[in-house]
Chains A and B, each alone.
Chain A
Amino acid sequence: MIQITFTINGFTDALHLADDHGLSDVEIEAMKQARYDKWDDFVKNPPAVVDEPVEE
């Protein structure tokens, strides 16, 4: 596994990729941005809380 730590707008996360991932730099940058966008949207637009029943 390759770990790529990145920071976008103060949000720090990491991608973990297979050693032979074969991704281009552009694709990796897109993955970073997608991670940030997902987090940013979740924080700014938190989903309505509809808890699933707890499974025993």
Chain B
Amino acid sequence: MQAALDKKVLLEVEHLKQYFPVKTDSLFKPKAYVQAVDDISFKLYEGETLSIVGESGCGKSTTGRAILRLDEPTAGKVYYSGTDILGLNKKEMRKLRGDLQVIFQDPFASLNPRQTVKQILNEPMAIQDVVEKSKRMDRMLELLGYVGLPPEALDRYPHEFSGGQRQRIGIARALAVNPKLIICDEAVSALDVSVQAQVLNLLKKLQKQFGLTFLFISHDLSVVRHISDRVMVMYLGKVVEIADKKDLFDTPLHPYTRALLSSIPVPNPELKRERIILKGDVPSPINPPKGCRFHTRCPFATEKCKLEEPDLRELDTNHMVSCHYAEKFM
């Protein structure tokens, strides 16, 4: 996508680190940290969908939460339209939250069960004060229309809705304050495929309608392929590859991305593929391997990989990869 070159950067993440302390057995032992996100940098362009993929514990959700300052990051910078949001005070941050919204995975846990849909939608509008009080009712009905829920929904409680409908309420709530960026953290993962398809179509439609930018966090590569413009693959707190969607799916350059893509079961029994099955489990992020973090499971690992950490290099236009030997897959 050449267009990316002249696109405006909406969000820029620089050297973001998020460490969480863990309990140690003894007072005198050095403190241990889960290095959930360890020095990652990337840009998000206006109007695009960037997906973060990876397996449990790779740091994809932590990245989303750190950007929103739901957990205060350990180090790094996050620029939103040029301002470093990590330096903002509480009041300024609250103001900015109108631009940055989030949709969570579990529609059962992310809606207050004791609020009606009306209250759920009204709250962000009141806090951000984006709509005059007298016009809020109209705005709420408009929002329900966008996400395909009937007006009667306003007086009902979350438990009266199905999973897919609840996710629509979550989307309406995020839209209520006219955001620019929505972080979708596994937003469709809890839904059945037919419902998932409805919600994905809705997200795409709304993106076009309102020029939204999405940071889409997911472990499901088929969904990612459908919704994204660019894809970033994470492994154990590091970015291993970022590329335009087509390049990533057609010519993955990192051995981990290649293994990940080949392990997805494809609903087509005719298709016979060569499958790369990785050995072993993901190592612990408390004490990640030295050198390349993937070397313990990588079929191509050499001495160099055990000692030297690879940099994220741009090997092709907009195709960045962190592997010493990525050239051999080009």
Q: Do A and B bind each other?
A: no
Task: Give me the interface of A with B, judged by CB distance under 8 Å.
Answer: none
